[in-house]
Amino acid sequence: MINLKELGAIIIVTIILGITLSLRSNFSGLQGILIISCLIFIVILINVIAKKVVSFFLDAETEIDIWKKERVGALYFIDIIPLTTPHPSYKFRNPIPLGIIIPILTALISIGYFVWMACLTFEVKPKTYRAAKRYGLYTFSEMTEWHLGLIAAWGIAANLIFAVIGYLIGFEEFARLNIYFAAFNTIPLSNLDGNKLFFGSLILWAFFAAIVLIGIGYALII
């Protein structure tokens, strides 16, 4: 379900977030980094597996990767300019791994009080042979924005569900990390989950944004 490339991306992000989040966590030292890293790894896996399961039922494959910036200019960063046929000069030779850089920068600038956690993106490809069998050969050729939004929504929903479970069993740190991870992935920016959800269904995005805001309120209290 998760290939080696995806696992590598997840591990890299886990290490980065584990180190940066441990700066202001309830756990200190090397032990604290290991604990936070393990929790973050589980939180990310919950999100990724949920998206892959939904993709399977939509007859598609989801591939996870580190959030990267491939084109020059602030407008490309927020996806205002269409990216279908950009001029070659607008594209970096090597994509900038924002999913690695931004968490480190935010942690350094805020001295660990604020760490950006939306570090992974996903791309979806339809399974033609399954789609043809179920819908007919010419009735299903690509994933719509609604499909992408639905996949992103289930990833966020899975984290929120496990946040509730963590809270009920008294594992507050796990609950808090799930809520924060869901919150960052709800932000409609670039190619992140929040952007896919926002353009897939504004109503669904508003629903999850409201739940996330309530969750953050509880996370700050517990």
pTM of the complete model:
0.85
Q: Does any domain span residue 128? A: no
Q: Does any domain span residue 14? A: yes
86-92 contacts at long range (C-beta below 8 A, 24 or more positions apart): none
Q: How many folded domains does the chain comprise?
A: 1
Q: Does any domain span residue 132? A: no
- As a whole number of angstroms, the distance between CA 153 and CA 1 comes to 19
Q: Does any domain span residue 198? A: yes
- As a whole number of angstroms, the distance between CA 212 and CA 160 comes to 8
Q: Does any domain span residue 137? A: no
Q: Which two tokens stand for residue 165?
A: 């479970």
Q: Does any domain span residue 138? A: no
Predicted confidence (pLDDT) per residue in 188-221, tens digit = 998 999 999 999 999 999 999 999 999 998 777 7
Predicted confidence (pLDDT) per residue in 28-47, tens digit = 678 888 999 999 999 999 99
Q: Does any domain span residue 135? A: no
Range of the domain at 11: 4-122+144-221
* Cβ–Cβ under 8 Å, residues 166 and 155: no
